Structure 1
């Protein structure tokens, strides 16, 4: 059995978790919208066509924010196609996913769905095939009360009150050659700056996120952020970053270490943003929007495969089936996000339903939780508060991580990976939540946690997610194969907590103030 010790002090905090840290993502991609959140005629559908079984699972999952409508989709999207009477909306070819877009679900339907799900909308504007003019018109349509052409058009469409969208993305992954109207950093920075100016002139209360690198291994990483922020620094609040973890090499130990590269990516983007501030002698500190993150690698598709499939409506694509192993790597990513709560203020799990998602549905049938559902739900439920610094003593291992995204295959060394990865969050009411990942595939870890400066604590909920078969999944016919169970070996004596974590396990211990 391995041993690890952790020291926590309630006075030493990293930062407060922003409610927007627990976001997710809905794109017009595959069955995320059609057959996912929206399926008129489904036995559980309400009068608006929203699947109530999906809504119930979304509320259990606990996202606070939903990014929409893309993703790659947004770089060719005319938002005007998705408003007005559905019977008059144009049907379009979607070049992002080689699908046919019926536009029967659009901006107003999304706002209604957000209200039904009790989440905040985060809207992206098309800075691929369009620019600042279309972007400022969408802000006016969504947020202006009335008396102008676009706001009165919204009212004529049946939504009298403004949607009051406060958070906006200035395009999506514009550094990627796969993007429609892919741009250089200078070209994107210029159009994003002008769009931001006009959008803020329409509504000065909005917050804006500029596109950073869509991956740490992009050949332009670093230079992209520097150039884009030279253009946009004074006009935006966030710089975005995206990461998808993979196990292409079928190396579980390295896969579970990959979340540590998220830590490096975040630290590097923070340094890049602060360098731009330093050159300006500015005290402004940009926050980070990690608005796409997940495990994804099995269902990636190339352009030739998409073309062969024709132009279907809502095809079943990118429907990653998640394993127990995936849930562990995913849990590591949750811990990485929490441990950067001082600068990562927005994060969006990509995506929400069916497409690389925690929730799966059968068209006309049921819905169920994938393995990654549970770490996210735990993070959202127990991760609100002050993230504390943790001093960890744990045995380590060396790893390497293969990532093919970019212009060439890359291997990143990850030395000295602690077997124990942990985040600690102090709640405002005096409680303390511990998120613990045992990355040892064979041995238990006996963890000793000293929590100093807290009032008397007692053990509340204690949860463990694990399975003897790391390739096990939840399916339509076996939706409960993998689910949380009580963590058995937990003892608390004053400020000292002892817990034994089983091999390859995700664990949550919630201590309540007595």
Structure 2
């Protein structure tokens, strides 16, 4: 058995929980939009074509903000194609994913869907093939009340009131050679600066996210952020981060420790932001939007579900299946630790979007004409999004170590916690990275007294011991949360035993001591 002791002091906090930390992502890619959130003719579609079964799961998942419409897709997208009468919208080739975009679903539909889902819209503009004028026009179309060409067009298209979109992304992954309209850091930094200025002249209230590195392994990582922010620091509010992780060659131990890499990635971006701030003598604070993150099994560069390299045999198709990973127990535990990392950095990571929402590397799956269901990774996101309220606590953790090939020895138990003083609760999130040993956890409170355990749930390997167990269409509830039995208070100390390979959420009733 492994052992961990966690100390919590009410006076040692990180920040208020940023509600935008629990964001998601809808891209025009694969079946995320079409047959995902939108499927006219489905037995559970409403009059607008929104799948109500998917909407119910989205509300249960609890995302607070959703990024749209991409992703790689946005770098070749004409937003005007997705407004106006549906029957008059043009069909276009989408070079990003080698598909045909029908444009049956566009900005108006997404804003309406977001209202039904109860999420904030995070809109991305195309800075790959387009630029300042098109971005400025989109802000006018979306946010200006009326009396101008673009705002009156919105009104003629059925939206009398402005959409009021506050949060905007200045392009996507333009550091990547795969991106349509790939740019150098200097080219992008100047374009982002000028686009931001023009957009704010239309609506001074908006918040803007500059493109950061597509991943930590990019050869330009660090220098890209430094150059972009040197140009655009005063014009933007956030710089983005993207990261995807997967298990390699059966090395589950290293995979379970990937949050160590996420921690280091965030710390590196924070250091770069602050270096530019100091060198430029800036007063404002730029923070981070971690607007793409998840587990993604990138199996190849030119397979049926990974059309990065277009071969002559590939056909242009409407919303084909793309990267529809089936997530297992191990993936869910890893996703839990990523959410812990985001919480631990909640003072600087103010926005985060798990990519994506439905079907495409997603917590929710659906079938055309058929059911929708929760994947294993649904559960840690849903519980943390619901329970993480109030202040993020700074934990002191002493844990047994587990060896990994990539990261050396790491803590067997990974943790994050929040304190909701108004509700009188502490929400504690725990992951046991050990594949074979249970974890004995003791939590000491300082300045707070625990009066009871309100709830305790755990996600772990099913009874047959298969860590690769997943929820599929024919067995939709194989992996989920169950009561954590071995948990209780002992003279004010919380004691819990975590099964091997598990993620748990424990809520304590507390009062000031």
Provide the residue aligned with 2:320 in structure 1.
315
Aligned pairs (5 A) from 1:244-283: 244-283=244-283
Check conservation: 2:75, 2:127, Cα contact below 8 A.
Answer: yes
Check conservation: 1:324, 1:472, Cα contact below 8 A.
Answer: yes
Check conservation: 1:462, 1:507, Cα contact below 8 A.
Answer: yes
Label 1:378 to 1:307 Cα distance change in 2 as closer, same or farther (>3 A).
Answer: farther
- Cα distance in 1 for partners of 2:62, 2:76 equals 30
SS in 2 for 1:11: coil
Check conservation: 1:338, 1:423, Cα contact below 8 A.
Answer: yes
SS in 1 for 2:139: helix
The Cα offsets for residues 367-407 of structure 1, whole Å up to 9 and x where unpaired, read as 01111000100110111221111111112234244xxxxxx
Aligned length: 502
Farther off after superposition, 92-101 or 327-336:
327-336
- Cα distance in 1 for partners of 2:277, 2:168 equals 22
Aligned pairs (5 A) from 1:5-20: 5-20=5-20
SS in 1 for 2:11: strand
SS in 2 for 1:304: coil
Which of the residues 404, 422, 425 maps onto 2:418?
425
Provide the residue aligned with 1:85 in structure 2.
85
SS in 2 for 1:159: coil
Deviation for aligned residue 1:307: 5.6
The Cα offsets for residues 211-235 of structure 1, whole Å up to 9 and x where unpaired, read as 0001001000011000000111000
SS in 2 for 1:189: helix
Label 1:307 to 1:105 Cα distance change in 2 as closer, same or farther (>3 A).
Answer: farther
Provide the residue aligned with 1:209 in structure 2.
209
Which of the residues 377, 381, 393 maps onto 1:372?
377
Check conservation: 1:245, 1:259, Cα contact below 8 A.
Answer: no
- Cα distance in 2 for partners of 1:476, 1:309 equals 28
Check conservation: 2:230, 2:280, Cα contact below 8 A.
Answer: no
The Cα offsets for residues 295-348 of structure 1, whole Å up to 9 and x where unpaired, read as 001455433366633110000111011111111111111111111110000000
Aligned pairs (5 A) from 1:200-239: 200-239=200-239
Check conservation: 2:253, 2:403, Cα contact below 8 A.
Answer: no
Check conservation: 1:50, 1:113, Cα contact below 8 A.
Answer: yes
Deviation for aligned residue 1:168: 0.3
Q: When the two structures are superposed, what TM-score results if normalisation uses the length of structure 2? A: 0.96
Which of the residues 455, 479, 484 maps onto 1:482?
479
The Cα offsets for residues 281-301 of structure 1, whole Å up to 9 and x where unpaired, read as 223221100000000014554
Label 1:484 to 1:327 Cα distance change in 2 as closer, same or farther (>3 A).
Answer: same
Q: When the two structures are superposed, what TM-score results if normalisation uses the length of structure 1? A: 0.96
Check conservation: 2:402, 2:434, Cα contact below 8 A.
Answer: no
Label 1:308 to 1:10 Cα distance change in 2 as closer, same or farther (>3 A).
Answer: farther
Provide the residue aligned with 2:48 in structure 1.
48
Provide the residue aligned with 1:360 in structure 2.
365
Provide the residue aligned with 2:64 in structure 1.
64
Deviation for aligned residue 1:458: 1.5
Provide the residue aligned with 1:122 in structure 2.
122
Aligned pairs (5 A) from 1:497-512: 497-512=494-509
Deviation for aligned residue 1:3: 1.3
SS in 1 for 2:41: coil
Provide the residue aligned with 1:392 in structure 2.
397
- Cα distance in 2 for partners of 1:253, 1:90 equals 49
Check conservation: 2:470, 2:478, Cα contact below 8 A.
Answer: yes
- Cα distance in 1 for partners of 2:390, 2:494 equals 20
The Cα offsets for residues 17-69 of structure 1, whole Å up to 9 and x where unpaired, read as 11110000000000000000000000000011000000000000000000000
Check conservation: 2:141, 2:153, Cα contact below 8 A.
Answer: yes
- Cα distance in 2 for partners of 1:148, 1:457 equals 60
Provide the residue aligned with 2:439 in structure 1.
445
Provide the residue aligned with 1:286 in structure 2.
286
Check conservation: 1:213, 1:224, Cα contact below 8 A.
Answer: yes
Provide the residue aligned with 1:140 in structure 2.
140
Deviation for aligned residue 1:207: 0.3
SS in 1 for 2:448: coil
- Cα distance in 1 for partners of 2:345, 2:506 equals 20
Q: In structure 1, list runs of 5 or more residues that go unmatched.
A: 402-413
Deviation for aligned residue 1:154: 0.2
